Amino acid sequence: MVDETTGLRESKKRETRQLISDQATRLFLARGFERTTIAEIAGAARVAKKTVTNYFARKEDLALDHHEAFVAGLAGAVAGRAAGESALAALRRAFLAAVEARDPVAGFSGPAFSRMVADSPTLTTRLRDLHDQREHALAEVLAAETGAADDDLTPRAVAAQLGAAHRVLFQRIQELTLAGRDEDEVAAVVSREAALVFDLLEPALGDYATADA
């Protein structure tokens, strides 16, 4: 009975969080991120203002609600790479799979959402910060996976290059989306361009952090 009660409580929390997120997104798209207040979001979701801030510590997180998955994505792909697979190969494979799935975390968020982010100085600043956090998380995993010493700059340098590649590709998805290209067109273009981007890194990083067979 305790487990059932706990499960119901957690389910209710997930439903409330999703409701708040959905109402926030609706208002942001209709009114713009900067002009929408937490109080308005709470009213639309029929919850207290404090409930909104309990679930979302920052207003930006209401819009960029996949931020945790975004930050952890590159590190997770490397940590979960197959035997004999390098960090670069794992990230290439994961990115192309995300493009195939039209994953919102990779940037496939639709024209209205992309425009809302592009028009908000607060969200564009937050997005840059999330890219930086993602790069830092990747550097930590690379250091752990290669057994690098604390003063070894290599994992940070590699993470900077891999992070920059993903940042460019993310921005490219947004750019093409805002230009009016549909998702299938965007996916086709970015898949070709991703091959070029990752091929440029291959000579330097093709064998780096290869998992033991």
Task: Give the CATH number for residue 130.
Answer: 1.10.357
Map residue 148 onto helix, strand or coil: coil
> Domain range holding 103?
67-205
74 within domain boundaries: yes
pLDDT tens digit sequence for 142-173: 999 999 999 999 999 999 999 999 999 999 99
Question: Can you tell me which residue has the tokens 């000579």?
Answer: 203
Helix (H) / strand (E) element for 179: namely none
213 within domain boundaries: no
pLDDT of residue 213: 75
82 within domain boundaries: yes
Question: Can you tell me which residue has the tokens 């891999």?
Answer: 162
pLDDT tens digit sequence for 49-88: 999 999 999 999 999 989 999 999 999 999 999 999 999 9
Residue of 155, 139, 158 lying closest to 201 (CA atoms):
158
Together in a domain, 23 and 53 = yes
Together in a domain, 22 and 98 = no
Whole-number Å distance between alpha carbons of 5 and 118: 43
212 within domain boundaries: no
Whole-number Å distance between alpha carbons of 145 and 66: 26
pLDDT of residue 56: 94
> Does residue 186 have a pLDDT over 90?
yes
Whole-number Å distance between alpha carbons of 118 and 112: 10
pLDDT of residue 92: 98
> Does residue 2 have a pLDDT over 70?
no
Whole-number Å distance between alpha carbons of 157 and 143: 11
> Does residue 15 have a pLDDT over 90?
yes
pLDDT of residue 10: 86
CA atoms within 13 A on the CB side of 172: 18
Whole-number Å distance between alpha carbons of 149 and 142: 11
For the entire predicted model, the pTM comes to 0.91
Together in a domain, 12 and 94 = no
Together in a domain, 166 and 82 = yes
Task: Give the CATH number for residue 31.
Answer: 1.10.10.60
Looking at the chain, list the stretches that DSSP marks H as alpha helix, in order from N- to C-terminal side: 2-31, 38-45, 49-55, 59-63, 67-79, 87-100, 111-118, 121-146, 154-178, 183-205
Which are the contacts of 148, defined by CB distance < 8 A and separation ≥ 6?
142, 154, 155
Residues 5-26 have a mean pLDDT of: 90
79 within domain boundaries: yes
Residues 193-206 have a mean pLDDT of: 97
Together in a domain, 53 and 118 = no
Together in a domain, 140 and 101 = yes
> Does residue 135 have a pLDDT over 70?
yes
Together in a domain, 39 and 75 = no
> Does residue 1 have a pLDDT over 70?
no
> CA triplet 34, 30, 110: central angle to 5 degrees?
95
As for how many domains the chain has, the answer is 2
Together in a domain, 90 and 108 = yes
Please say which residue of 40, 58, 76 terminates a domain. 58
pLDDT of residue 8: 81
The mean pLDDT of the chain is 95
Together in a domain, 72 and 135 = yes
Whole-number Å distance between alpha carbons of 195 and 59: 36
pLDDT of residue 6: 75
> Does residue 95 have a pLDDT over 70?
yes
